[in-house]
Amino acid sequence: MNNIHEECGVLGVISQGSADVAGMAYYGLYALQHRGQESCGIVVNDDGVFSSYKDLGLVSQVFSADTLSRLPRGSMAVGHVRYGTTGAANRNNCQPIEVNHQKGKMALAHNGNLSNAAELRNTLELSGAIFHTTSDTETIAYIVTRERLRTPSIEDALSAAMNTLEGAYSLVLMSAQKLICARDPHGFRPLCYGRTPDGIYVAASESCALSAIGAQFIRDLDPGEILVFGPEGVISRREHCGQREKKLCIFEYIYFARPDSVIDGVSVHGARIQAGRILARRYPAAADLVVGVPDSGLDAALGFSLESGIPYGIGLIKNKYIGRTFISPGQQARLDQVRIKLSAIEESVRGKRVVLVDDSIVRGTTSGRIVKLLREAGAREIHMRISSPPFMHPCYYGTDIDSREHLIACRHSVSETAEIIGADSLGYLPVEELPSLAGGWGYCSACFDGNYPTAIPADTRKDRFEQKLSERRR
């Protein structure tokens, strides 16, 4: 439970005939809600005619039974849940993005962050392009459209566009006749696909969305792979595969993904259990109880308990009707949400020495509040263990870790941080143990160790039109 903006979630559905693809997309997006709680949207393709609905809010808030009933049956649908790391929370930035161009229509949903977005956008603006959003998705849409005007197919256009794009992107693109999925050559963001018993194909950011729809998982897309679902069946294009070293975001295993998902052959639940076991070995504590911070700290807490032999218990209760704490703008709002969202179980923790396990510490304010909750409930000692290394560097690939000055680990030692948050001791997962979570290789840990797989962007500002004039001058 931290102050990190999380990823978006993408989903695509394609049927050989007319089907309730909007309903399937709805259930798939529900399963991906943890990846984005700012906005959501669905675009349906009914024999080449696109119908859509998207708005700010959770899936359950945006899509009522009445709203879904207004979307037609069709052969394809694309869906998206958003929590933007760039771009304001307004309806213009809701996805999927729809484009009408000389050769047809396109709807595009994107998860990730381009590291060369500012450069690409500047070039496009100077050539006359007019942007209506501040999201990277519109930049991708422009480039794909440009390439489509000089290539024989939409998949050729996407392949050509990928020669220009740098950074993180998992895409689901829908044309009049095809559904196309693509994963960037580094594979920063997850993307997989499956099939329902009646032959409907589903692509999604995580395998948990396939399960929600009743689709059987087939496989993950490889980094750089383009998968085309169309009249000729399912075609894999691999011209961009093997061009870059695989760099899946390690934080997918630590926090972003749902525990019941499997990403690139690695169980998210298993990875978090392993993180807890490592913490127990590296930073043992004389304690009576192990408590996880709901939800993303629970699996690691269980791992700590299994390895240490210290009983696992429920010490914190989450109000499941409150969104993740970082959604609120401003520090006081975040603290207020912690008070509303979590409460300590006094019976469990009073007089106990508690090991408190969470996924990360960013600024330290939320962690401090949680420690205080347990203190107020009577915990005698609190030993905090974090299932990720300390954040030391900004992320340019979709995680909202944008400034070293906001990272407590950049300004304070481990012992100082423990004192600031009110814990009796503090231990982070060592950076050198990250391979144990990711199957040994193929992950990006730049936010922890500063080893960036791509060039660091010189300009990361993408929201100048959402700033006051006085703010732009600073």
Q: Following CA atoms 60, 64, 65, 69 in sequence, which dihedral angle do they give, to the nearest 10 degrees?
A: -120
Q: Give dist(CA 32, CA 206) in Å, integer.
A: 7
d(CA 273, CA 429): 12
What single DSSP character describes residue 300? H
- CB 205 within 8 Å of CB 170: yes
Annotated active-site residue in 8, 181, 192, 447: 8
Are 56 and 90 in contact by the 8 Å Cβ rule? The answer is yes
DSSP state of 40: E
Query: How many angstroms separate the most distant Cα atoms in the chain?
Result: 71
- Strand blocks (E) in 66-191: 74-82, 97-101, 104-111, 170-174, 179-183
Q: What's the chain's Rg over C-alpha atoms? A: 22
- Alpha-carbon gap, residue 216 to 353, rounded angstroms: 44
Sign of CA dihedral 462, 466, 467, 472: positive
Residue 65, φ and ψ in degrees, nearest 5: -60, -40
Q: And the tokens for 414?
A: 């481990």
Cα gap 79→71, rounded to integer Å: 13
8 is catalytic: yes
> Which among 388, 347, 392, 353 has a CA at the least distance from the CA of 367?
388
The whole-angstrom separation of Cα 228 and Cα 213 is 20
Is 362 in contact with 408 (CB distance < 8 Å)? yes
| Residue 360 CB contacts under 8 Å (≥ 6 apart), including other chains | 2, 4, 254, 255, 386, 387, 388, 391
Residues with a catalytic annotation lie at: 8
